[in-house]
Structure 1
């Protein structure tokens, strides 16, 4: 299957290049970059000199005649302009930006400070949380790849929400991310002297992943709550490491009779046919190093019988399961390939 990447110079794009290079059923034939058009990919990333001889180019829909799938590794606001052209040409689109994640255009405009895509195309997009919406993804022509924080959060929450065991209006999410999540562009926020030996909270109350998380909690809560507008408290932090996300998620149980063993059993059953989600035995909790460089999401569970609160520890590699890895997983789904194809990497440890 011939593939192209649009937005070819960011960390998500270079991870896609690495994964497509070893994928047995996909061939990368085009890398498109507005800022680096005309350069060889090895001029931007010298470590790719022996992997890809592709010259980057500016976007021209006529040059994508042989392409069957396009990955958009672009900043917000770009894919909403280009995906309609690709869609009309019959090319399947997997968007790693946030342009197609929110069903409500007003929400997109509020949180992303940009005009929304036309509902003609927004309505055709499927939210690409691979383990949860695989059936819908399979037939979709536009896949909105989830954000990194929402991936870690929703994989931890959806099984218990579907059981109706959690009060969804009590959810608190403490998120911590490595610096690669902020992208490759230089900024004071990610300057070495600012982030080294330091932990910083950022975007309190205004992170663009908040409505994405709430939208899917609402979708999964239907039938369990009367008020279908749950709100979460979501606080994000930058930590001095390159890769990785840890989301520590708290919520109040609806039923005091639910035991920790029952919750763990439910999660192990829920994800038994999904090889990239690993549920830890009760009393053990994952760390980011244990998923680095892989497409795994590891989940640990703690139930405090004294308070009735449950805690989930969910870890992913933000560039893999949180971006490029899940995009390749979605490529596998739409083609009916084994979801593990091209993704069977053991985490890099230590």
Structure 2
């Protein structure tokens, strides 16, 4: 098999790299008559395969084309040779748009309805609730983004992409599974209620299942195959570590802490300070600096309901030896203030009072 045939096979199957595509186009621009025959047969053979009624007639057309090209290769006067050389170059140039048209025809079913996409982005300090075209209800948390097709018609699966945190009440349709793509893990369901959290700046991906069932894994092969890593049951939580790619499953008596944000609440249940900081940064649109590493060993249990940042910090301070300082952002040329900074340190005065 010639190199050009190898590239054509890769091109037809869709299994090619950007470098291989560039190599194919470069080869076509300088292709010989043998290569032109290969491409002509390749393109026309696909037509024959899809239309058995015209097989014999088209096969004869292909043979005629090949014979014509072979005849042209016979010794000719210099003028004819120059003319043939020019025509060969033109033929090579014409093959490229034919190849592009062939590519579009081969992949039109896969990509035609995947072009038009909607994206909902929620800024820090906010939350959004909306409905997808299939009737699925979605809540997006602060600093999150969801991308989805304008319509799920003619799709094998209902595929959306999540960056951040989302709560989903999926419209049930067993014919068309609902798939959430995230950084490191995909979720496949048919009709389910679950919460998914996958922020780029956080080390873990977390999925909490409220109702139904979900499969965790990766969607491959043009939505036809789903490689399952784990399956969740109601009241179960899966945590994927992005570094180790390890999934930890655990049953919970209460999932309130995972979904309370949809009602404007923050719930911490013996959570490390890193978790508290991650959620405070997104809810209040602030940047947090920990100046005392001893604070990293502290854990917190508290519930905040539509609290101001100052009030939330005072509640945290009541249960831990923490001192905080808020630095306002610097205004830019338009007068808009930048992100505030929250500095956390250990409150040494508490220890001094205990020793006095």
TM-score (normalizing by structure 1): 0.22
Based on CA coordinates, which of the two structures has the bigger radius of gyration?
Answer: 2
Q: Which has the higher contact order (CA 8 A, sep 6+)?
A: 1
Q: Which has the higher strand share?
A: 2
